[in-house]
Amino acid sequence: MSIPSSRPARSGSDAADRAEPRALRTRVAVLDAVRTALAEVPLSELTVAEICRRAGIHRVTFYGHWPDVDAAAADALAEVIDGIAAVDDAAITEADDAAGLAELYETALADQLAELAAHREMYRSMAQSPLFGRKLRETLGRRAQLAIDALGRAGVEVPGAASGIAAAQLSGGVAAASLAWLASEAADAADDPAAVAAAQRDMLAQLPTWWPRDRA
């Protein structure tokens, strides 16, 4: 997509001051507009003008936050996944042991797969974007580190926990496997909960040896 020469030089999702209430409101409005629009039109047909119309903002304001539609879309969908991947702090505190903690995160994985399946065409179009892939890995990486920290407090020894290597490998594998499943024919039948459960089982089987598996 060509960018108008009037675009502010500081464009990009990290450019705007997110601590400013007005900037936060704008960001929320744009990301909501992008998610709504992508449910109706393909990413290839979505324009900055249409996003601005839906969000009620000026193009200059949009470019103060993102350089193009792809960047805004990557942020929007990564935020959806981030919300689904989150595990409630109270549930973590109440988990009896490492196996209980692991089950919480495995449920979150199933919910992520269900989200991909429910909106598979939208996510399939985004899967072609290197930016979305990076955002997805970053999002899941943060969640993976939180999971590893919680498991560590429960007594699980995780090699590479402190260096971030464990979180990078865990989240990278989940992200890659999720996108591979999304691109497969199996995802086309994923309106059936059993298909999502099967994908979850396949992905859980690939988790590292330190991942708690004992449900007894």
Cα–Cα dist 194/178, whole Å: 16
- Please determine, for residue 25, whether its predicted confidence score (pLDDT) is greater than 70: yes
Apex 168 CA angle, 166 and 170, nearest 5: 65
What are the pLDDT digits (tens) for 39-95?
899 899 999 999 999 999 999 999 999 999 999 999 999 999 999 999 998 999 898
What angle do helix axes 69-85 and 21-38 make, rounded to 10 degrees? 90
Quick one: pLDDT at residue 6? 32
- Please determine, for residue 158, whether its predicted confidence score (pLDDT) is greater than 70: yes
Q: The domain 21-67: what is its CATH number?
A: 1.10.10.60
Quick one: pLDDT at residue 213? 82
Residue ranges per domain, the chain? 21-67, 73-204
Enter the pTM of the model. Answer: 0.81
